[in-house]
Amino acid sequence: MAEVIDNVITQGLTGGISDRRYTFRTHKNGKTFLVRKPRRSDAEPTEAQILAKQIFKLTTERVNADRADAEKWAEWTAKANASASDKYSTPYGYAFHVYYQEVKAELEAQG
């Protein structure tokens, strides 16, 4: 991975070059890197990957259902504001965290 240091032309670039084989990435700290474009794997997903995808999908569905209900969303907003953790300071993040744990426990109990 090549790091771009003090280059006015490439500083802050994102996107691909050379038939999209390489990509510029800019990190939050402002550093720009030239990296190979990631490729999708042709391997079949493992049981753990399938379970994680299912947990994420069900969790997202529950959170989005709550977002549509103003009363429930107000409850999540209050809980997120009362939370001491910066990690879950948004209502979406807090609701996702709680529902993720619930969905994961439900699916693991099912076997």
pLDDT of 61 reads 96
Q: Are strands 22-26 and 2-4 parallel, antiparallel or unpaired?
A: unpaired
- The three-class DSSP label of residue 28 is coil
Burial 6-28 (b: 16+ CB within 10 A, else e): eeeeeeebeeeeeeeeebbeeee
pLDDT of 33 reads 79
Which amino acid does the sequence have at 16? Answer: G
pTM over 0.75: no
pLDDT digits (tens, 9 = 90+) for 31-86: 777 788 888 888 999 999 999 999 999 999 999 999 999 999 999 999 888 877 76
Q: Taking a C-beta distance cutoff of 8 angstroms, is the pair 7, 23 a contact?
A: no
pLDDT at 38: 80
Residues 2-31: tens digit of each pLDDT: 666 666 666 666 666 666 688 877 777 777
